[in-house]
Structure 1
Amino acid sequence: MVCALLSDLHLEEHPDRGEAYLDALNPEGVDLLVLAGDICAHDMILDVMKWFSKRYDQIVYVLGNHEYHESSFEVVEETCKKLPSNIEWLERRSIEWRGLHILGATLWFEWEEKAMQHKDRLSDFRKISGFDDEVFERNAHSQLFLRSQIRPDSLVVTHHLPTFRAIPSRFKDSPLIPFFCCDLSSIKVHPKTWMFGHTHWSVNIQAESHFIANPLGNHHQKDSGHSADLRFIF
Protein backbone atom coordinates (compact mmCIF):
# COMPACT_ATOMS: atom_id res chain seq x y z
CA MET A 1 0.00 0.00 0.00
CA VAL A 2 1.37 3.40 -1.03
CA CYS A 3 0.87 6.37 1.28
CA ALA A 4 1.53 10.05 0.59
CA LEU A 5 1.86 12.72 3.29
CA LEU A 6 1.28 16.47 3.02
CA SER A 7 1.00 19.14 5.70
CA ASP A 8 1.30 22.87 6.31
CA LEU A 9 0.39 23.82 2.76
CA HIS A 10 -1.09 27.13 3.98
CA LEU A 11 -2.91 27.50 0.68
CA GLU A 12 -4.63 30.64 1.93
CA GLU A 13 -1.26 32.44 1.68
CA HIS A 14 -0.85 31.71 -2.03
CA PRO A 15 -1.94 34.46 -4.44
CA ASP A 16 -3.89 31.85 -6.43
CA ARG A 17 -5.23 30.17 -3.26
CA GLY A 18 -3.00 27.17 -3.95
CA GLU A 19 -4.31 26.35 -7.42
CA ALA A 20 -0.89 25.93 -9.04
CA TYR A 21 0.46 23.78 -6.21
CA LEU A 22 -2.59 21.50 -6.20
CA ASP A 23 -2.66 21.13 -9.97
CA ALA A 24 0.98 20.00 -9.92
CA LEU A 25 0.31 17.14 -7.48
CA ASN A 26 0.43 13.63 -8.92
CA PRO A 27 -2.04 11.24 -7.25
CA GLU A 28 -1.15 8.30 -9.50
CA GLY A 29 -0.39 5.16 -7.53
CA VAL A 30 -1.32 6.65 -4.16
CA ASP A 31 -3.65 4.44 -2.12
CA LEU A 32 -3.84 6.68 0.96
CA LEU A 33 -3.24 10.41 1.29
CA VAL A 34 -2.55 11.74 4.78
CA LEU A 35 -3.19 15.45 5.37
CA ALA A 36 -1.63 16.41 8.70
CA GLY A 37 -3.13 19.86 9.16
CA ASP A 38 -2.69 23.53 8.25
CA ILE A 39 -3.86 22.79 4.74
CA CYS A 40 -5.96 25.93 4.25
CA ALA A 41 -8.12 28.53 5.98
CA HIS A 42 -11.42 27.44 7.50
CA ASP A 43 -13.50 29.01 4.71
CA MET A 44 -11.59 26.98 2.10
CA ILE A 45 -11.88 23.56 3.75
CA LEU A 46 -14.87 22.21 1.82
CA ASP A 47 -13.64 23.34 -1.59
CA VAL A 48 -10.07 22.13 -1.04
CA MET A 49 -11.18 18.79 0.38
CA LYS A 50 -13.55 18.26 -2.53
CA TRP A 51 -10.58 18.82 -4.84
CA PHE A 52 -8.53 16.17 -3.00
CA SER A 53 -11.54 13.84 -2.84
CA LYS A 54 -11.91 13.75 -6.61
CA ARG A 55 -8.26 12.84 -7.17
CA TYR A 56 -7.30 10.51 -4.32
CA ASP A 57 -9.00 7.22 -3.45
CA GLN A 58 -8.78 7.52 0.34
CA ILE A 59 -7.79 10.46 2.53
CA VAL A 60 -7.11 10.85 6.24
CA TYR A 61 -7.33 14.44 7.50
CA VAL A 62 -6.30 15.92 10.83
CA LEU A 63 -6.97 19.61 11.41
CA GLY A 64 -4.12 21.96 12.19
CA ASN A 65 -4.28 25.03 14.37
CA HIS A 66 -4.58 27.37 11.37
CA GLU A 67 -7.82 25.78 10.14
CA TYR A 68 -9.40 27.20 13.31
CA HIS A 69 -8.06 30.75 12.89
CA GLU A 70 -10.69 33.49 12.65
CA SER A 71 -13.28 30.93 13.73
CA SER A 72 -13.98 28.53 16.60
CA PHE A 73 -13.63 24.85 17.42
CA GLU A 74 -17.36 24.29 17.05
CA VAL A 75 -17.82 26.03 13.71
CA VAL A 76 -14.83 24.41 12.01
CA GLU A 77 -15.71 20.95 13.27
CA GLU A 78 -19.28 21.31 12.02
CA THR A 79 -17.76 22.04 8.62
CA CYS A 80 -15.71 18.84 8.80
CA LYS A 81 -18.87 16.80 9.25
CA LYS A 82 -19.73 17.72 5.66
CA LEU A 83 -16.57 16.31 4.07
CA PRO A 84 -16.80 13.84 1.16
CA SER A 85 -17.24 10.19 2.10
CA ASN A 86 -13.70 9.15 1.14
CA ILE A 87 -12.17 11.63 3.59
CA GLU A 88 -11.81 10.44 7.18
CA TRP A 89 -11.51 13.40 9.54
CA LEU A 90 -9.75 12.12 12.65
CA GLU A 91 -10.23 13.98 15.91
CA ARG A 92 -9.74 11.42 18.65
CA ARG A 93 -10.95 8.75 16.24
CA SER A 94 -9.51 5.54 14.89
CA ILE A 95 -10.31 3.57 11.76
CA GLU A 96 -9.34 0.24 10.25
CA TRP A 97 -8.55 0.57 6.57
CA ARG A 98 -7.21 -2.30 4.47
CA GLY A 99 -5.87 -3.92 7.62
CA LEU A 100 -4.13 -0.73 8.77
CA HIS A 101 -5.02 0.74 12.16
CA ILE A 102 -5.06 4.54 11.79
CA LEU A 103 -5.82 7.00 14.56
CA GLY A 104 -5.42 10.71 14.95
CA ALA A 105 -6.08 14.02 16.65
CA THR A 106 -4.83 17.58 16.32
CA LEU A 107 -3.17 17.03 19.75
CA TRP A 108 -2.42 20.62 20.85
CA PHE A 109 -0.18 21.19 23.90
CA GLU A 110 -0.02 21.02 27.68
CA TRP A 111 -0.19 23.96 30.09
CA GLU A 112 3.27 25.02 31.20
CA GLU A 113 3.79 28.01 33.45
CA LYS A 114 6.98 29.26 31.78
CA ALA A 115 5.52 28.93 28.32
CA MET A 116 2.39 30.83 29.28
CA GLN A 117 4.55 33.88 29.94
CA HIS A 118 4.98 33.97 26.16
CA LYS A 119 1.38 33.23 25.11
CA ASP A 120 1.03 36.64 23.45
CA ARG A 121 3.52 35.45 20.84
CA LEU A 122 1.24 32.58 19.78
CA SER A 123 -1.48 33.74 17.41
CA ASP A 124 -3.81 30.87 18.35
CA PHE A 125 -4.68 32.64 21.60
CA ARG A 126 -5.86 35.68 19.63
CA LYS A 127 -7.31 34.11 16.51
CA ILE A 128 -9.33 31.13 17.78
CA SER A 129 -12.52 31.96 19.64
CA GLY A 130 -12.63 30.35 23.09
CA PHE A 131 -9.11 29.00 22.72
CA ASP A 132 -7.98 29.64 26.31
CA ASP A 133 -11.01 27.81 27.67
CA GLU A 134 -10.61 24.66 25.60
CA VAL A 135 -7.10 24.01 24.36
CA PHE A 136 -5.64 22.33 27.45
CA GLU A 137 -8.69 20.14 27.97
CA ARG A 138 -8.52 19.11 24.34
CA ASN A 139 -4.88 18.18 24.74
CA ALA A 140 -5.62 16.12 27.86
CA HIS A 141 -8.42 14.23 26.07
CA SER A 142 -6.20 13.66 23.05
CA GLN A 143 -3.39 12.27 25.16
CA LEU A 144 -5.76 9.90 26.94
CA PHE A 145 -7.17 8.74 23.62
CA LEU A 146 -3.78 8.14 22.03
CA ARG A 147 -2.29 6.43 25.06
CA SER A 148 -5.25 4.04 25.25
CA GLN A 149 -5.65 3.31 21.54
CA ILE A 150 -2.16 3.13 20.05
CA ARG A 151 -0.99 -0.33 19.00
CA PRO A 152 2.49 -1.40 17.85
CA ASP A 153 1.22 -1.62 14.27
CA SER A 154 -0.64 1.72 14.29
CA LEU A 155 -0.27 4.68 11.99
CA VAL A 156 -0.79 7.78 14.15
CA VAL A 157 -1.51 11.18 12.64
CA THR A 158 -1.35 14.42 14.63
CA HIS A 159 -0.73 18.02 13.72
CA HIS A 160 1.41 18.99 16.68
CA LEU A 161 4.81 17.40 17.12
CA PRO A 162 4.75 14.26 19.32
CA THR A 163 8.47 14.20 20.08
CA PHE A 164 11.22 16.66 20.98
CA ARG A 165 13.40 14.76 18.50
CA ALA A 166 11.56 16.53 15.67
CA ILE A 167 12.44 20.06 16.77
CA PRO A 168 15.03 21.66 14.45
CA SER A 169 18.30 22.41 16.21
CA ARG A 170 17.92 26.13 15.54
CA PHE A 171 14.85 26.18 17.80
CA LYS A 172 16.04 23.91 20.63
CA ASP A 173 16.23 26.83 23.09
CA SER A 174 13.05 28.61 22.04
CA PRO A 175 10.61 29.37 24.88
CA LEU A 176 7.79 28.61 22.43
CA ILE A 177 8.62 24.91 22.05
CA PRO A 178 5.88 23.85 24.54
CA PHE A 179 3.30 25.41 22.19
CA PHE A 180 4.49 23.31 19.25
CA CYS A 181 5.40 19.95 20.75
CA CYS A 182 3.52 17.62 23.09
CA ASP A 183 6.23 15.08 23.81
CA LEU A 184 4.73 11.60 24.18
CA SER A 185 7.95 9.65 24.58
CA SER A 186 6.62 8.18 27.83
CA ILE A 187 3.72 6.29 26.23
CA LYS A 188 3.82 2.58 27.00
CA VAL A 189 3.08 1.44 23.45
CA HIS A 190 4.82 3.15 20.54
CA PRO A 191 3.25 3.03 17.08
CA LYS A 192 5.12 1.84 14.04
CA THR A 193 4.64 5.18 12.26
CA TRP A 194 3.77 8.70 13.44
CA MET A 195 2.99 11.37 10.87
CA PHE A 196 2.55 15.01 11.85
CA GLY A 197 2.86 18.64 10.77
CA HIS A 198 3.12 22.03 12.50
CA THR A 199 6.87 22.14 11.99
CA HIS A 200 7.85 23.82 8.73
CA TRP A 201 10.89 21.59 8.28
CA SER A 202 10.72 18.02 7.05
CA VAL A 203 11.33 15.15 9.46
CA ASN A 204 12.25 11.52 8.79
CA ILE A 205 13.53 9.93 11.98
CA GLN A 206 13.60 6.27 12.95
CA ALA A 207 13.49 6.06 16.76
CA GLU A 208 10.86 4.48 19.04
CA SER A 209 8.57 5.15 16.05
CA HIS A 210 9.14 6.23 12.49
CA PHE A 211 8.50 9.99 12.79
CA ILE A 212 7.65 11.70 9.50
CA ALA A 213 6.71 15.25 8.52
CA ASN A 214 6.49 16.65 5.00
CA PRO A 215 5.46 20.31 5.32
CA LEU A 216 5.39 22.82 2.49
CA GLY A 217 5.64 25.74 4.91
CA ASN A 218 4.76 29.38 4.45
CA HIS A 219 4.38 30.78 0.96
CA HIS A 220 7.80 31.56 -0.57
CA GLN A 221 9.57 29.35 2.02
CA LYS A 222 12.30 27.43 0.21
CA ASP A 223 14.01 25.48 3.01
CA SER A 224 11.26 23.22 4.35
CA GLY A 225 12.58 20.11 2.59
CA HIS A 226 9.09 19.47 1.20
CA SER A 227 8.57 16.84 -1.48
CA ALA A 228 5.21 16.75 -3.22
CA ASP A 229 6.07 13.25 -4.47
CA LEU A 230 7.06 11.73 -1.11
CA ARG A 231 5.75 8.16 -0.82
CA PHE A 232 5.83 5.47 1.87
CA ILE A 233 5.05 1.78 1.53
CA PHE A 234 3.02 0.02 4.22
Structure 2
Amino acid sequence: MAMKIQIASDLHHEMSQHCHELACPLPLAPGADALVLAGDIHEGTNAIDIYSDYPVPVVYVHGNHEPLNNRYPALISDLEDRAVGTAVRFLQNDQFTFGEIRFLGACMWTDYLQFPLHFNDSLEIARHGMIEHKLVRRSGDGRMFQPEDARMHQRETLLWLREQLDVPFLGKTIVVTHHIPSPRSIPHAHQQHALAPAYASNLELLVERADLWIHGHAHWSCDYRIGKCRVICNPRGRPGRNRKYPELPYENAEFQPALTVDV
Protein backbone atom coordinates (compact mmCIF):
# COMPACT_ATOMS: atom_id res chain seq x y z
CA MET A 1 0.00 0.00 0.00
CA ALA A 2 1.35 3.42 -0.99
CA MET A 3 2.37 5.90 1.68
CA LYS A 4 1.99 9.65 1.41
CA ILE A 5 5.24 11.45 2.23
CA GLN A 6 5.30 15.20 2.90
CA ILE A 7 8.49 16.95 1.78
CA ALA A 8 10.12 20.22 2.82
CA SER A 9 13.55 21.72 3.40
CA ASP A 10 15.28 25.01 4.21
CA LEU A 11 12.49 26.19 6.51
CA HIS A 12 14.98 28.34 8.45
CA HIS A 13 12.87 28.61 11.57
CA GLU A 14 15.84 30.32 13.25
CA MET A 15 15.36 33.36 10.98
CA SER A 16 11.60 33.62 11.53
CA GLN A 17 11.43 35.40 14.88
CA HIS A 18 9.36 38.24 13.40
CA CYS A 19 6.80 35.95 11.74
CA HIS A 20 4.96 33.64 14.11
CA GLU A 21 3.59 31.49 11.28
CA LEU A 22 7.07 30.77 9.86
CA ALA A 23 8.52 30.12 13.30
CA CYS A 24 5.98 27.37 14.01
CA PRO A 25 6.31 23.76 12.84
CA LEU A 26 5.17 23.13 9.29
CA PRO A 27 1.51 22.01 9.37
CA LEU A 28 0.95 18.37 8.53
CA ALA A 29 -0.42 17.91 5.00
CA PRO A 30 -3.79 16.15 4.75
CA GLY A 31 -3.31 12.39 4.73
CA ALA A 32 0.48 12.51 5.14
CA ASP A 33 1.98 9.42 6.79
CA ALA A 34 5.43 10.97 7.39
CA LEU A 35 7.24 14.28 7.05
CA VAL A 36 10.71 14.55 5.51
CA LEU A 37 12.82 17.59 6.46
CA ALA A 38 15.91 17.81 4.25
CA GLY A 39 18.05 20.16 6.32
CA ASP A 40 18.45 23.84 7.25
CA ILE A 41 15.41 23.61 9.49
CA HIS A 42 16.63 25.34 12.67
CA GLU A 43 19.93 26.14 14.38
CA GLY A 44 21.66 23.52 16.50
CA THR A 45 19.23 20.95 17.87
CA ASN A 46 16.21 23.25 17.98
CA ALA A 47 14.43 21.58 15.06
CA ILE A 48 14.02 18.45 17.15
CA ASP A 49 12.45 20.47 19.96
CA ILE A 50 9.74 22.02 17.79
CA TYR A 51 8.95 18.78 15.91
CA SER A 52 9.27 16.46 18.93
CA ASP A 53 5.51 15.95 19.32
CA TYR A 54 4.65 15.85 15.62
CA PRO A 55 1.70 13.51 14.88
CA VAL A 56 3.64 11.41 12.34
CA PRO A 57 7.30 10.36 12.09
CA VAL A 58 9.63 13.19 11.02
CA VAL A 59 12.63 12.01 8.99
CA TYR A 60 15.27 14.70 9.44
CA VAL A 61 18.80 15.31 8.16
CA HIS A 62 20.83 18.36 9.11
CA GLY A 63 21.98 20.96 6.63
CA ASN A 64 24.92 23.34 6.56
CA HIS A 65 23.13 25.85 8.82
CA GLU A 66 22.42 23.59 11.83
CA PRO A 67 26.14 23.44 12.73
CA LEU A 68 26.64 27.22 12.66
CA ASN A 69 28.25 28.44 15.90
CA ASN A 70 28.67 24.81 16.96
CA ARG A 71 31.39 22.16 16.92
CA TYR A 72 31.18 19.58 14.14
CA PRO A 73 30.78 16.62 14.05
CA ALA A 74 30.04 16.76 17.81
CA LEU A 75 26.66 18.29 16.94
CA ILE A 76 25.63 14.98 15.36
CA SER A 77 25.74 13.23 18.74
CA ASP A 78 23.74 16.08 20.26
CA LEU A 79 21.08 15.72 17.57
CA GLU A 80 20.94 11.96 18.01
CA ASP A 81 20.59 12.27 21.77
CA ARG A 82 17.93 14.98 21.58
CA ALA A 83 15.83 12.93 19.14
CA VAL A 84 15.49 9.94 21.46
CA GLY A 85 11.87 9.50 22.54
CA THR A 86 10.51 12.08 20.07
CA ALA A 87 8.70 11.87 16.74
CA VAL A 88 11.94 12.85 14.99
CA ARG A 89 14.08 10.23 13.29
CA PHE A 90 17.38 12.07 12.88
CA LEU A 91 19.58 10.43 10.25
CA GLN A 92 23.27 10.96 9.63
CA ASN A 93 24.66 7.98 7.76
CA ASP A 94 21.75 6.08 9.21
CA GLN A 95 18.49 4.49 8.09
CA PHE A 96 14.90 4.31 9.22
CA THR A 97 12.46 1.67 7.99
CA PHE A 98 8.81 2.68 8.04
CA GLY A 99 6.44 0.07 6.71
CA GLU A 100 7.69 -0.89 3.26
CA ILE A 101 9.88 2.20 2.89
CA ARG A 102 13.57 2.44 3.70
CA PHE A 103 14.88 5.97 4.37
CA LEU A 104 18.64 6.45 3.99
CA GLY A 105 19.69 9.85 5.31
CA ALA A 106 22.70 12.14 5.67
CA CYS A 107 23.70 15.77 5.23
CA MET A 108 26.16 14.48 2.60
CA TRP A 109 28.07 17.77 2.06
CA THR A 110 29.77 18.19 -1.33
CA ASP A 111 32.96 17.39 -3.22
CA TYR A 112 33.55 20.74 -5.02
CA LEU A 113 34.19 18.85 -8.27
CA GLN A 114 31.53 20.35 -10.49
CA PHE A 115 34.26 22.24 -12.38
CA PRO A 116 37.11 19.67 -12.34
CA LEU A 117 39.60 21.92 -14.13
CA HIS A 118 39.04 24.62 -11.51
CA PHE A 119 38.89 22.39 -8.44
CA ASN A 120 41.38 24.41 -6.36
CA ASP A 121 39.59 27.63 -7.25
CA SER A 122 36.29 26.08 -6.17
CA LEU A 123 37.77 25.18 -2.79
CA GLU A 124 39.06 28.70 -2.22
CA ILE A 125 35.86 30.38 -3.38
CA ALA A 126 33.83 28.18 -1.03
CA ARG A 127 36.29 28.76 1.83
CA HIS A 128 35.56 32.49 1.67
CA GLY A 129 32.00 32.41 0.36
CA MET A 130 30.13 29.71 2.33
CA ILE A 131 28.95 30.51 5.83
CA GLU A 132 29.73 27.06 7.25
CA HIS A 133 33.44 27.67 6.64
CA LYS A 134 33.26 30.86 8.70
CA LEU A 135 31.01 29.90 11.63
CA VAL A 136 31.54 26.16 12.23
CA ARG A 137 34.48 24.80 14.21
CA ARG A 138 35.86 21.28 14.12
CA SER A 139 35.25 19.21 17.21
CA GLY A 140 38.78 17.96 17.68
CA ASP A 141 41.01 21.01 17.44
CA GLY A 142 38.57 23.93 17.35
CA ARG A 143 39.79 25.12 13.97
CA MET A 144 37.35 26.33 11.35
CA PHE A 145 35.47 23.68 9.35
CA GLN A 146 37.01 23.78 5.88
CA PRO A 147 36.00 22.57 2.40
CA GLU A 148 38.50 19.75 2.81
CA ASP A 149 36.57 18.62 5.91
CA ALA A 150 33.32 18.70 3.97
CA ARG A 151 34.88 16.49 1.28
CA MET A 152 36.02 14.00 3.93
CA HIS A 153 32.55 13.79 5.45
CA GLN A 154 31.01 13.37 2.02
CA ARG A 155 33.34 10.47 1.25
CA GLU A 156 32.24 8.75 4.47
CA THR A 157 28.61 9.22 3.51
CA LEU A 158 29.05 7.99 -0.05
CA LEU A 159 30.86 4.83 1.07
CA TRP A 160 28.07 4.17 3.57
CA LEU A 161 25.33 4.96 1.08
CA ARG A 162 26.78 2.68 -1.58
CA GLU A 163 26.94 -0.16 0.95
CA GLN A 164 23.31 0.38 1.95
CA LEU A 165 22.09 0.51 -1.64
CA ASP A 166 23.85 -2.83 -2.22
CA VAL A 167 21.67 -4.42 0.47
CA PRO A 168 18.52 -5.92 -1.13
CA PHE A 169 15.27 -4.34 0.05
CA LEU A 170 11.84 -5.49 -1.07
CA GLY A 171 10.13 -2.11 -0.61
CA LYS A 172 10.95 1.40 -1.81
CA THR A 173 14.18 3.24 -0.99
CA ILE A 174 14.11 6.98 -0.29
CA VAL A 175 17.41 8.81 0.07
CA VAL A 176 17.29 12.09 2.01
CA THR A 177 20.23 14.51 1.85
CA HIS A 178 20.65 18.21 2.35
CA HIS A 179 23.24 18.74 -0.34
CA ILE A 180 22.38 18.27 -3.99
CA PRO A 181 23.14 14.97 -5.79
CA SER A 182 23.06 16.28 -9.37
CA PRO A 183 23.79 19.57 -11.17
CA ARG A 184 20.37 19.14 -12.80
CA SER A 185 18.87 20.58 -9.62
CA ILE A 186 20.60 23.91 -10.29
CA PRO A 187 18.79 26.20 -12.75
CA HIS A 188 20.63 26.58 -16.03
CA ALA A 189 21.29 30.28 -15.37
CA HIS A 190 23.21 29.40 -12.18
CA GLN A 191 25.06 26.25 -13.23
CA GLN A 192 28.26 28.19 -14.01
CA HIS A 193 28.14 30.22 -10.79
CA ALA A 194 31.42 30.10 -8.89
CA LEU A 195 29.69 28.69 -5.79
CA ALA A 196 27.77 25.96 -7.66
CA PRO A 197 30.32 23.28 -6.60
CA ALA A 198 29.52 24.09 -2.96
CA TYR A 199 25.91 23.09 -3.59
CA ALA A 200 25.90 20.11 -5.95
CA SER A 201 27.90 16.97 -6.67
CA ASN A 202 27.41 14.67 -9.65
CA LEU A 203 26.21 11.47 -8.00
CA GLU A 204 23.81 10.33 -10.68
CA LEU A 205 25.12 6.75 -10.72
CA LEU A 206 24.01 6.49 -7.08
CA VAL A 207 20.81 8.45 -7.59
CA GLU A 208 19.45 6.07 -10.19
CA ARG A 209 19.67 3.20 -7.69
CA ALA A 210 17.08 4.80 -5.37
CA ASP A 211 13.34 5.21 -5.93
CA LEU A 212 13.12 8.75 -4.59
CA TRP A 213 15.88 11.23 -3.64
CA ILE A 214 14.86 14.24 -1.55
CA HIS A 215 17.32 17.09 -1.04
CA GLY A 216 17.50 20.68 0.13
CA HIS A 217 20.26 23.35 0.08
CA ALA A 218 18.89 24.96 -3.09
CA HIS A 219 16.37 27.71 -2.47
CA TRP A 220 14.41 26.87 -5.60
CA SER A 221 12.12 23.94 -6.32
CA CYS A 222 12.89 21.04 -8.64
CA ASP A 223 11.28 17.76 -9.64
CA TYR A 224 12.83 15.49 -12.30
CA ARG A 225 13.95 11.93 -12.90
CA ILE A 226 17.29 10.20 -13.23
CA GLY A 227 16.54 6.71 -14.49
CA LYS A 228 13.81 5.28 -12.27
CA CYS A 229 14.55 7.72 -9.44
CA ARG A 230 12.52 10.85 -8.86
CA VAL A 231 14.51 13.80 -7.45
CA ILE A 232 12.58 16.44 -5.51
CA CYS A 233 13.50 19.63 -3.67
CA ASN A 234 10.77 21.72 -1.99
CA PRO A 235 12.54 24.49 -0.04
CA ARG A 236 10.84 27.42 1.65
CA GLY A 237 13.98 29.50 1.91
CA ARG A 238 14.85 32.39 4.18
CA PRO A 239 12.21 34.85 5.38
CA GLY A 240 12.01 38.20 3.65
CA ARG A 241 14.39 37.29 0.82
CA ASN A 242 12.00 37.26 -2.15
CA ARG A 243 13.03 40.24 -4.26
CA LYS A 244 10.56 39.52 -7.05
CA TYR A 245 7.58 39.16 -4.70
CA PRO A 246 8.43 41.25 -1.61
CA GLU A 247 4.98 40.63 -0.18
CA LEU A 248 5.81 36.91 0.09
CA PRO A 249 7.17 36.16 3.58
CA TYR A 250 9.74 33.60 2.37
CA GLU A 251 12.27 33.22 -0.42
CA ASN A 252 10.92 30.52 -2.74
CA ALA A 253 7.68 31.51 -4.47
CA GLU A 254 7.23 27.91 -5.69
CA PHE A 255 7.34 26.39 -2.20
CA GLN A 256 4.37 24.11 -1.51
CA PRO A 257 3.80 23.77 2.26
CA ALA A 258 1.61 20.69 1.82
CA LEU A 259 3.61 18.98 -0.94
CA THR A 260 3.29 15.19 -0.74
CA VAL A 261 4.31 12.27 -2.93
CA ASP A 262 2.87 8.77 -2.97
CA VAL A 263 5.52 6.09 -2.56
AA aligned opposite 1:117: E
Structure index of larger Rg: 2
Partner in structure 1 of residue 156 of structure 2: 141
Query: In structure 2, how many angstroms separate the alpha carbons of the residues matched to 1:216 and 1:193?
Result: 20
Partner in structure 1 of residue 199 of structure 2: 180
SS at match of 2:161: helix
AA aligned opposite 2:238: N
AA aligned opposite 2:35: L
Match of residue 4, structure 2, among 2, 5, 23 = 2
| TM-score where L is the length of structure 1 | 0.90
Report how many residues are paired: 230
Partner in structure 1 of residue 259 of structure 2: 230
Partner in structure 1 of residue 111 of structure 2: 110
Asked if the contact 2:51–2:58 (Cα under 8 Å) also holds between the matched residues in 1, the reply is: no
Partner in structure 1 of residue 221 of structure 2: 202
- RMSD (CA atoms): 2.1
Q: CA deviation at 1:47?
A: 2.5
1:32 and 2:31 matched: no
Asked if the contact 1:33–1:56 (Cα under 8 Å) also holds between the matched residues in 2, the reply is: no
Asked if the contact 1:46–1:79 (Cα under 8 Å) also holds between the matched residues in 2, the reply is: no
AA aligned opposite 1:82: R
Label 1:154 to 1:46 Cα distance change in 2 as closer, same or farther (>3 A): closer
- Structure 1 stretches of at least 4 aligned residues deviating more than 4 Å after TM superposition: none
Label 1:134 to 1:49 Cα distance change in 2 as closer, same or farther (>3 A): farther
SS at match of 2:150: helix
Q: CA deviation at 1:71?
A: 0.7
Identity across aligned pairs (percent)?
Answer: 24
Partner in structure 1 of residue 50 of structure 2: 48
Deviations 1:84-140 (A, max 9, x none): 433211111122210111101100011532201312011111111021263221110
Asked if the contact 1:5–1:230 (Cα under 8 Å) also holds between the matched residues in 2, the reply is: yes
- In the alignment, structure 1 segments of 5+ residues that lack a partner are none
Q: Which moved more, 1:172-181 or 1:187-196?
A: 187-196
Asked if the contact 2:208–2:226 (Cα under 8 Å) also holds between the matched residues in 1, the reply is: no
Q: Which moved more, 1:118-127 or 1:192-201?
A: 118-127
Label 1:85 to 1:134 Cα distance change in 2 as closer, same or farther (>3 A): same
AA aligned opposite 2:159: L
Query: In structure 1, how many angstroms separate the alpha carbons of the residues matched to 2:257 and 2:214?
Result: 15
Asked if the contact 2:181–2:207 (Cα under 8 Å) also holds between the matched residues in 1, the reply is: no
Label 1:94 to 1:47 Cα distance change in 2 as closer, same or farther (>3 A): closer
Asked if the contact 1:2–1:233 (Cα under 8 Å) also holds between the matched residues in 2, the reply is: yes
Partner in structure 1 of residue 82 of structure 2: 82
Asked if the contact 1:35–1:59 (Cα under 8 Å) also holds between the matched residues in 2, the reply is: yes
SS at match of 1:95: strand
Partner in structure 2 of residue 62 of structure 1: 61
Partner in structure 2 of residue 129 of structure 1: 137
AA aligned opposite 1:204: D
Query: In structure 1, how many angstroms separate the alpha carbons of the residues matched to 2:179 and 2:55?
Result: 24
SS at match of 1:198: coil
1:216 and 2:215 matched: no
